[in-house]
């Protein structure tokens, strides 16, 4: 989701409600509805001062009378800031996401050729972002995920005092999108936090970076994959993407002490090489004059990286190291490169994608898991794992390990 601040907008939503002495469950429905309707009525004058016509405002909010309780509920968990880096990568860079990315790379080649030629952004990076944001568009077909953007943003503005400014700004931008003919009120759909389309643009970012790639006169990021990918490429280009350059290199560190001392230091690749930092495959750095920062996502015991400028450009899409690392690694895997040479300090043997499906199925059969069988170990799966571990007096680590699956199979 573009704009780094977007990914912190609702981290404190629940805390804000508690600070106010409120919760969605504690607010009487009638009172909440009346207050919300009053907020919508009052905000019309604010939108008008920002240039939104009254008829547009009323069309957009027609039929919206209640806040969306899922907005605050979904705000409580943000994997970029809560998951271990290896869990985060397992859920996003796996056999399925790689295989589908490669298939789409072939299927969409004519469009990807044109987008790459126009914006200079690597096609595999665009496919990786598409995968990360909406699972190659699958999320847009889920009624439990896709919501009314005006209702979501109004809910944030109404219930979350610390994020109200963000929500009001995005809501006005969304209203202007309708007024300018970019989208109809019914088509103004997105995530619980107002991110829209295949590659999840918040309204202000959409208005800055929208690109009409298919030539129909509108940048339709909801139904036109070429438009969505081109809009993403435009954002990266305008934020300094270096065409033909990588996002970074996995490296071997000379010692833990040196790595700790130089963590986040910025030097040329030639300078890093002179200090003893090497690539695991023994190859030289192809652009020794490029500058890079040392990043240790799991500390010195895990894979280490020298991150070049494109890594930090990816963080303009989501200001989290895990996100940018996952995009870069998935892009490489789609492009035919291998997995990381070094292993993460998990402390357990991880499962394959097929085994994670099996784990969820076995936990479901035991009545411990009621979520989607998708092979992704999120908060629901971890809670189910911990419940099982609790039943049998095991350490409640929530890890989807080979040892745990073997125990489930044996019992």
Map out the domains of the chain as residue ranges.
353-410
The CB-side HSE value for 237 (13 A sphere, CA atoms) comes to: 21
Say yes or no to pLDDT of 217 above 90. yes
Fold of 353-410: Muramoyl-pentapeptide Carboxypeptidase; domain 1 (1.10.101)
**CA–CA dist 307, 293 (Å, integer):** 5
The first and second tokens of residue 249, run together, are 């290199």
Say yes or no to pLDDT of 399 above 90. yes
Q: Chain-centre distance of CA 392, in angstroms? A: 35
In this prediction, residues 341-350 reach a mean pLDDT of 95
Q: So what's the pLDDT on residue 77?
A: 59
Q: Please identify which residue in the block is written with the tokens 């643009």.
A: 201
Nearest to 132 by CA among 331, 368, 307: 331
- Please report, for residues 102, 215, 249, 340, the alpha-carbon distance to residue 328 in angstroms, rounded to integers and kept in the order given: 15, 29, 10, 12
**CA–CA dist 213, 276 (Å, integer):** 45
**CA–CA dist 380, 371 (Å, integer):** 7
Where is pLDDT greater, at 390 or 301?
A: 390
Banded pLDDT at 96 (limits 50, 70, 90): very high
Banded pLDDT at 75 (limits 50, 70, 90): low
Q: Chain-centre distance of CA 220, in angstroms? A: 20
**CA–CA dist 162, 150 (Å, integer):** 18
Q: 386: Cβ–Cβ under 8 A, 6 or more apart, which residues? A: 396, 397, 398
**CA–CA dist 208, 71 (Å, integer):** 25
Q: 1: Cβ–Cβ under 8 A, 6 or more apart, which residues? A: 7, 133, 191, 193, 195, 200, 201, 202, 317, 318
**CA–CA dist 145, 206 (Å, integer):** 20
* Least confidently predicted of 80-84, 98-102, 111-115, 168-172: 80-84
**CA–CA dist 101, 289 (Å, integer):** 32
- Radius of gyration of the chain, Cα coordinates, nearest whole angstrom: 23
The CB-side HSE value for 142 (13 A sphere, CA atoms) comes to: 12
Mean pLDDT (the chain) is 91
This prediction has a pTM of 0.90
User: Cβ–Cβ contacts within 10 Å for residue 47, how many?
Assistant: 21
Banded pLDDT at 2 (limits 50, 70, 90): low
- Helices and strands, counts by H and E, the chain: 20, 6
Q: Chain-centre distance of CA 153, in angstroms? A: 18
In this prediction, residues 371-378 reach a mean pLDDT of 94
């Amino acid at each position: 989701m573009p704009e780094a601040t977007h990914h912190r907008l609702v981290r404190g939503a629940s805390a804000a409600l508690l600070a106010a002495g409120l919760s969605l469950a504690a607010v009487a429905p009638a009172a909440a509805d009346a207050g919300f309707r009053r907020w919508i009525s009052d905000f019309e004058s604010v939108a008008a001062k920002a240039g939104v016509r009254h008829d547009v405002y009323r069309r957009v909010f027609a039929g919206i009378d209640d806040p969306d309780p899922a907005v605050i509920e979904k705000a409580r968990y943000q994997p970029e800031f809560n998951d271990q880096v290896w869990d985060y990568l397992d859920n996003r860079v796996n056999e399925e996401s790689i295989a589908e990315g490669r298939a789409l790379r072939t299927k969409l080649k004519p469009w990807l050729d044109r987008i790459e030629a126009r914006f200079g952004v690597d096609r595999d990076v665009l496919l990786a972002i598409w995968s990360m944001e909406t699972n190659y568009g699958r999320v847009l077909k889920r009624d439990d995920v896709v919501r009314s953007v005006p209702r979501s943003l109004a809910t944030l503005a109404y219930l979350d005092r610390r994020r109200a400014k963000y929500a009001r700004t995005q809501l006005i931008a969304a209203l202007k999108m309708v007024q300018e003919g970019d989208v109809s009120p019914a088509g103004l759909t997105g995530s619980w936090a107002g991110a829209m389309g295949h590659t999840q643009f918040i309204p202000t970012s959409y208005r800055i970076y929208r690109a009409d790639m298919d030539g129909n006169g509108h940048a339709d990021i909801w139904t036109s994959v070429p438009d969505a990918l081109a809009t993403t490429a435009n954002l990266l280009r305008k934020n300094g993407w270096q065409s033909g350059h990588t996002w970074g290199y996995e490296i071997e560190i000379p010692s833990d002490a040196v790595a700790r001392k130089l963590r986040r230091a910025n030097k040329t690749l030639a300078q890093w090489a002179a200090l003893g930092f090497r690539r695991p495959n023994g190859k030289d750095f192809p652009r020794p004059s490029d500058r890079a920062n040392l990043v240790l996502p799991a500390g010195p015991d895990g894979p280490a990286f020298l991150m070049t400028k494109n890594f930090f450009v990816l963080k303009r899409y989501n200001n989290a190291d895990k996100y940018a690392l996952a995009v870069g690694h998935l892009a490489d895997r789609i492009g035919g490169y291998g997995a990381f040479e070094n292993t993460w300090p998990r402390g357990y043997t991880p499962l394959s994608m097929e085994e994670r499906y099996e784990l969820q199925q076995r936990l479901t059969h035991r009545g411990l898991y009621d979520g989607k069988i998708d092979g992704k170990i999120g908060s629901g799966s971890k809670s189910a794992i911990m419940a099982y571990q609790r039943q049998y007096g095991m350490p409640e680590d929530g890890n989807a390990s080979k040892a745990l699956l073997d125990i489930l199979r044996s019992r």
